[in-house]
Chains A and B, each alone.
Chain A
């Protein structure tokens, strides 16, 4: 009896009425937009003022920097000293002038 009533209530032409379903990927555009905006904000962070410091502390730091630059460039050259030692002729002692 109940089955017969249920089948009569259906509308065979249109089928059952359902609420519209949201796409599973609906979150993607706002997420992508958020990521893009975040990245742009990070990328466009304020450019620093060139210079700006002054006085003896800056002078002292720049003097230290000259040392540090040379020192680090020479340390970075250490592999060339070791590789050069692998070339047989380079390791030979030489007499002086």
Chain B
């Protein structure tokens, strides 16, 4: 069989395309390791002998553990999809732990920066002023994503000591069911450390079931707040496969919100009068799928997008746009949209009080002033 010049050219182009398609794979898995990275401090020096943990996030599974070498480098050998990496420096280094973003395996080489730790002392009491032992205290840090950096339990005097960043969100979770929470948002922790007193009121269970027109809804996020208390966030949960949920509430009036992360249903909110009540039956209405495209100079821009339901006066669960800058949020007949670019160099985008039409909505980002 003789090949014509056109066939030879086509074969050459095919071979070239195939070889180029393999390049990202080779970059992603250099050598024999599945995931490599380096751990540095805020000055850029490698952190030696830090413990590095590889997790499979979806399955909540610790897959592999290693330590950094004298240059701060590390390498994992087991391939994981949906990987998340945690680094903890030796305690004597007084450095904070650090998390990679979700899906760490997509990066060819991870770089994790450990910032200096400050000391936070927390004292937890119940509403009668008695120390609350075995309460879980968490320190959250907000960088690109929010993550829990430290979690310890209070001792018999209701005290705990944790490493904390310069600015942190702090939560305490009651030791007994239904695990009422209390929060301190945007806490500034000076270089010399900070002490914090938190009171956890007595809690009552708040249970119920979430349904849509087709039956029980699983995975709906339910959020409970004590009315009128800025840091009185009682807690959150997700409905199970039968749509059931149990949350914590206090004896005071409670605001309950139900948000569907799948984006298929409109969010709702409910005010519950003080005192315990019957189990709730929440009905979520289906929403129209509104596609929102976020762009800069017409090119895709990744963002978080929320829709506002004016009738229920509640925001939807935030949808993260795909690499093409597209996100879908549920809307009713009229709605508003707020989009927050992941790149903080760009200002947030808004569109208010729009009627629903079966077409996508484009929001063009402007540089942040």
Mark A residues whose CB is within 8 Å of B: 42-43, 45-53, 57-58, 60-62, 64-65, 68-77, 79-87, 89-97
Contacts and interface: CB of A to CB of B under 8 A. Distances in A.
Nearest to B97: A84
B351 A77 contact: no
B40 interface: no
A92 B150 CA distance: 11
B152 A69 contact: no
Query: Which of B60, B88, B308, B354 neighbours the largest number of chain A CB atoms within 10 Å of its CB?
Result: B308
A57 B336 CA distance: 11
Contacts, number: 157
Nearest to A82: B60
A96 B146 contact: no
Nearest to A45: B359
Interface of B: 51, 53, 55, 57, 60-62, 84, 86, 88, 99, 119, 121-123, 134, 138, 140, 142, 145-148, 150-155, 157-162, 169, 171, 185, 195, 221, 223, 233, 236, 259, 304, 306, 308, 310, 313-315, 317-318, 336-338, 340, 349-354, 359-364, 366
A53 to B, nearest CB: 3
B151 to A, nearest CB: 5
A49 B84 contact: no
Contacts of A52: 350-353
Contact of B350 (A50, A60, A84): A50
Contacts of B142: 73
A13 B162 CA distance: 100
Q: Is the interface of A mostly helix, strand, loop or mixed?
A: helix
Q: Is the interface of B mostly helix, strand, loop or mixed?
A: strand
B152 A93 contact: yes
Given A52-B353, A71-B223, A94-B152, A43 B161 contact: no
Given A45-B362, A52-B353, A83-B60, A68 B84 contact: no
B160 A96 contact: yes
Contacts of A79: 57, 60, 84
A32 B304 CA distance: 33
A64 B315 contact: yes
Contacts of A69: 304, 306, 318, 340
A79 B58 CA distance: 8
Contacts of B313: 60-61, 64
A60 B310 CA distance: 11
Given A58-B336, A80-B84, A83-B62, 12 more contacts: A42-B360, A47-B362, A51-B350, A53-B350, A65-B306, A68-B318, A73-B146, A81-B151, A84-B150, A96-B122, A96-B123, A97-B195
Contacts of A96: 121-123, 154-155, 157-161
A60 B150 CA distance: 34
A51 B337 CA distance: 10
A84 B121 contact: no
Contact of A87 (B88, B308, B352): B88
Contacts of A92: 152
